[in-house]
Amino acid sequence: MFEEYIVPFLFLLEEMAPYLLLGLLVAGILHSFVPRSVYNKWLSGNDLKSILLSVAFGIPLPLCSCGVVPTAVAMHKEGASRGATTAFLISTPQTGVDSIMATYSVFGLPFAILRPVASLVTGVLGGLAAGKFGGADSHEGSVSSKSTAAAAKKSFLHRCREALSYGFTDMLQDIGKWLVLGLVAAGLITIFVPDDFFLTFAGGAKWLNYLLVLLIAAPMYVCATGSIPIAAALMMKGLSPGAAFIFLMAGPATNLASVLVLGKTLGRKTLLTYLLSIFAGALAFGAAADYLLPQEWFTARIMDTMCPHCHGSAQGTEWWKVASAAVLLFLIARAFILKHKTNKTDKKMMTFKVTGMMCNHCKANVERAISALDGVASVEVDLGAGEARVEGTVDPAAVVKAVVAIGYGCDIA
C-alpha cells in the first residue's frame, strides 16, 4: 500500500526536478548576465514584434511547464511585458528541440511539424490577448544609475555566484511554496485518476474525448518529451490522433504547480488568458488533426519502436533524476529556512523601514541601491519585516534618498 501511493509521487518529483532545476538556472543566468536594457528594448512591448521574438526564443528551449515558470517570472521582473511573458509561457513548454525530434521518431513528420506550429500560433494569440486584456505591466522598479554602473564592473565569477544565488535561493523563496502545493495536488491526481479513465470513452463522440483528455491532462505534470509515449499508447488503445494531440499540447503546457505560481505573480486576468489560449488552441488543433487532415499521416508510424529515452519509467529510474530530486528538495528546504531565519547578529546597524517591497527582486533592488553608496560596509534587507539594516559610516539621509529614488518608501526606524 505504501509503494502504491508513494512511488508515483516520487516518480513525478523525479520527472519534474531536472527540468525545474534547469529553469531556475536559466532564471539566474538571465538575471545576472542579461542587462535589463535587453528586455526593455526587445520584449517590453505588447506588440506583435515583441511577442514573436518571445515565442521564437522559447520554442527551441527544452523547458517544461515547471521549468518555464521561474524563467518567465524572472523575465517579467527584469522588464519583459505581460504579453511577451505570457507568449513565452504558452509556447515554450509545448515543445523543444528534443521533443520535436522524439515526436518525429514516434509519430512521423506531420506530428513533428504540427507541434511547433501549434506552439507558435497559441503563443502569439495568447500573448496578444494577455497584452490587451491582462492588465497593466507593473515591474518592481528600475535600478539606480550608480547601482547599474556598479553591476557593470562585476567579474564573471561574481556574476556566476549571483546567478546561482538568485536562481536557487531567491526564486525558490518566491515560488517554492506554490510549487510544493502544486506538486502535492498534481501527485494526488496522478495517483488517484485511473490510467484508463477516459479510454473507456474512446468509442463515443470525439468531442467528448477531447474534453475528457483536456480535463485530465491540464492539471497533470508531463514534459513535452515524456508526453510522447503516453500519447502513443493512448492512440494504440483507440484514442483518435486529435485527442492524442490535445494531450501533447495541454499536458506539457500547464499543470497545477504552474497555475498556482502564475496566479500569484502575473494576476488572475493574465492567468485566465493563459489557460484559455492553451485550451482553445489544443481543441482547435486537435479537431484539425481529426477532421481536416488525413488520418494516415498520424498513424503510419505509431507501431514503430519508440525512442527509449523518452519515458524514464521504461528503463527504471535514472540516477540523475534521483539526484536532481534530492537536490531540489534540499534547495527548497534551504530557501524556506533562510527566508524565515531570524537575524541574531549582535552588530550595531542602522535600521530603515522600507515599504513597497513585494518579492526577492525588490529586495535585490534595495540592496544594490544601498550597497552602491559610499560608506556602506554591509547591508541586509529583511523582506518579511520590511526592513533594511545597514552597517557603516554612510549618511542615513543618503540611504533614504537612494531607496526612494528606485521607487520604494523609506524611513529611519
Distance of CA 161 to the CA centre of its chain: 22
**Local structure of residue 406 (DSSP, 8 states):** T
Tabulate helix, strand, coil % of the chain (nearest 5).
Answer: 70, 5, 25
136, 93: one domain: yes
Which of the residue ranges 60-69, 102-111, 123-132, 187-196 has the most confident prediction, judged by mean pLDDT? 123-132
pLDDT (tens digit per residue) in 126-141: 999 988 886 655 544 4
- 257 inside domain: yes
258, 163: one domain: yes
pLDDT at 40 (0 to 100):
62
Q: pLDDT band for position 153 (50/70/90)?
A: low
pLDDT at 371 (0 to 100):
87
pLDDT at 343 (0 to 100):
43
Query: 346-369 as b/e, with b when 16 or more CB fall inside 10 Å?
Result: eeebbebebebbebbbbbbbbbbb
- Locus of grid cell 533594511: 388
CATH number, domain at 355? 3.30.70.100
User: Residue 312's closest CA among 302, 299, 322?
Assistant: 322
pLDDT at 173 (0 to 100):
80
103, 191: one domain: yes
In the sheet that holds 376-382, the strands lie side by side as 376-382, 387-392, 350-355, 409-412
> What is the signed CA dihedral for 139, 144, 147, 153, rounded to 10 degrees?
90
Look up residue 356 and give its three cell numbers. 513597497
Which of the residue ranges 136-145, 185-194, 205-214, 270-279 has the most confident prediction, judged by mean pLDDT? 270-279
**Local structure of residue 388 (DSSP, 8 states):** E
Tell which of 336, 369, 402 closes a domain. 336
- 130 inside domain: yes
Distance CA(101)–CA(342), nearest Å, equals 50
Instruction: Return all residues near 132 (Cβ < 8 A) that are at least 6 apart.
Output: 46, 83
324, 182: one domain: yes
- 325 inside domain: yes
187, 297: one domain: yes
91 pLDDT above the threshold of 80: yes
290, 364: one domain: no
Which of the residue ranges 97-111, 187-201, 250-264, 379-393 has the most confident prediction, judged by mean pLDDT? 379-393
Taking residues 106-120, report their average pLDDT: 87
pLDDT at 33 (0 to 100):
84
Taking residues 358-376, report their average pLDDT: 83
- CB 233 within 8 Å of CB 239: no
- 342 inside domain: no
Distance CA(61)–CA(70), nearest Å, equals 14
Helix (H, G, I), strand (E, B) or coil at 376: strand
Q: pLDDT band for position 300 (50/70/90)?
A: low
- CB 234 within 8 Å of CB 247: yes
- 341 inside domain: no
284, 379: one domain: no
Instruction: Return all residues near 400 (Cβ < 8 A) that are at least 6 apart.
Output: 352, 410, 411, 412
Give me the percent of the chain exceeding a pLDDT of 90: 14
Taking residues 214-227, report their average pLDDT: 77
354, 319: one domain: no
Range of the domain at 366: 350-412
Compare 118 and 374 and report the one with higher pLDDT.
Answer: 118
Distance CA(197)–CA(145), nearest Å, equals 58
Distance CA(124)–CA(86), nearest Å, equals 9
279 pLDDT above the threshold of 90: yes
- 343 inside domain: no
313 pLDDT above the threshold of 90: no
Compare 382 and 9 and report the one with higher pLDDT.
Answer: 382
Taking residues 303-313, report their average pLDDT: 45
pLDDT (tens digit per residue) in 235-260: 776 778 898 899 889 888 887 777 87
- 197 inside domain: yes
pLDDT (tens digit per residue) in 13-52: 776 788 778 878 887 887 788 776 666 677 777 788 889 9
| Window from 176-185, 249-258, 302-311 with minimum mean pLDDT | 302-311
Instruction: Return all residues near 375 (Cβ < 8 A) that are at least 6 apart.
Output: 392, 393, 394, 395
pLDDT at 283 (0 to 100):
94
> What is the signed CA dihedral for 98, 101, 103, 106, rounded to 10 degrees?
-130
Taking residues 98-125, report their average pLDDT: 85
- 286 inside domain: yes
312, 398: one domain: no
66 pLDDT above the threshold of 70: no
400, 309: one domain: no
* Domains: count for the chain: 2
113, 213: one domain: yes
Compare 183 and 88 and report the one with higher pLDDT.
Answer: 88
Q: pLDDT band for position 68 (50/70/90)?
A: confident
- Residue 200 to residues 102, 191, 194, 303, 322: CA-CA distances in angstroms? 28, 18, 11, 21, 34
